Amino acid sequence: MRNEDTSASHIFQVEHYKATGTAVPAVPVKVIPNASSSTTSHWLYVVDDGEVYVYDIDNNHALVKQFPIPEAGKRGVAVAPKQGLLYISECGMNSCSGSNGSLLAYDLVHNVVAWIANYSFGVDQLAVTPDGTTIYMPHGADASDGTHSILDASDGKPIGSIQTGTNGHNTIVSLDGTQVYLTGYTGSNYNFAHVV
């Protein structure tokens, strides 16, 4: 594959897995009722260490609000719109090194931290299923255990795992929720993508 922006060539290895195990139902934290207003707002959330900035895309990117978060060393951000939760994966001010990651859930409706889950594994760019019930979390580009954890999105507790190889880095869930794309990075031209 050739990158049109840099003209660099990249080699990818693509593997396909079938997930196994018992499905565990997760109860959504809350459902936000439909807004009574007929207008739709488009906001951009920018996460910096210790602070989140919210900009109104439709109003010349005006700063709407900002709020502190108690953690630093962010690795990834995802949102569950129906639940009104913003998820931020973090490693503190240290490198994850495959361990000691955390996941912060911020309640966008009530403007408070909903919960923080701490892990004995590293974290990186997570993805949330479209129904907002499940999170797929890579253990990080610094990890060597080759694992993506499956987390309950209502409390961050691990409910399963997928073995993919090493250095899990980015994760995307398809819009219909039927596939998860798990990628990794090893610091060389050997990158991989797994489809589950």
Q: Does 110 map to a domain?
A: yes
pLDDT by residue (tens digit) across 117-171? 999 888 989 999 999 999 999 988 777 788 889 999 999 999 999 988 767 888 9
Report how many domains make up the chain. Answer: 1
Q: What is the pLDDT of residue 12?
A: 43
In a domain, 6, yes or no: no
pTM of the entire structure? Answer: 0.74
Q: What is the end-to-end Cα distance of the chain in Å, rounded?
A: 21
What range defines the domain where residue 164 resides?
Answer: 11-33+40-195
Question: In Å, how far are 4, 18, 88, 100 from 118, measured between CA atoms?
Answer: 39, 28, 12, 7
- The Cβ-side half-sphere exposure at 153, using a 13 Å CA radius, reads 29
What is the CATH classification number for the domain harbouring 105? 2.130.10.10
The residue type found at 73 is G
- pLDDT (tens digit, 9 = 90+) per residue, 171-192? 999 999 999 988 877 666 555 5
Per-residue confidence (pLDDT) for residue 139, from 0 to 100? 87
Q: Is 166 domain-assigned?
A: yes
Please say whether the beta carbons of 182 and 5 come within 8 A.
no
Look at the chain and count its residues: 196
Residue 180 counted as domain residue: yes
* Joined tokens for residue 17: 């897995």
Give CA–CA dist 123/66, Å, rounded.
Answer: 24
Give the sign of the dihedral formed by CA 164, CA 179, CA 137, CA 168. Answer: positive
Share of the chain above pLDDT 70, in %: 70
Instruction: Compute and round to an integer the Cα radius of gyration of the chain.
Output: 17
What pLDDT, in 10s, does the model give residues 16-27? 444 444 443 333
8 vs 92: CA distance, rounded Å: 33
Closest of 51, 10, 17, 53 to residue 181, by C-alpha = 17
Amino acid at 59: N
In a domain? residue 116: yes
- Answer whether residue 108 is part of any domain: yes
Residue 2 in domain:
no
Residue 112 has pLDDT above 70, yes or no: yes
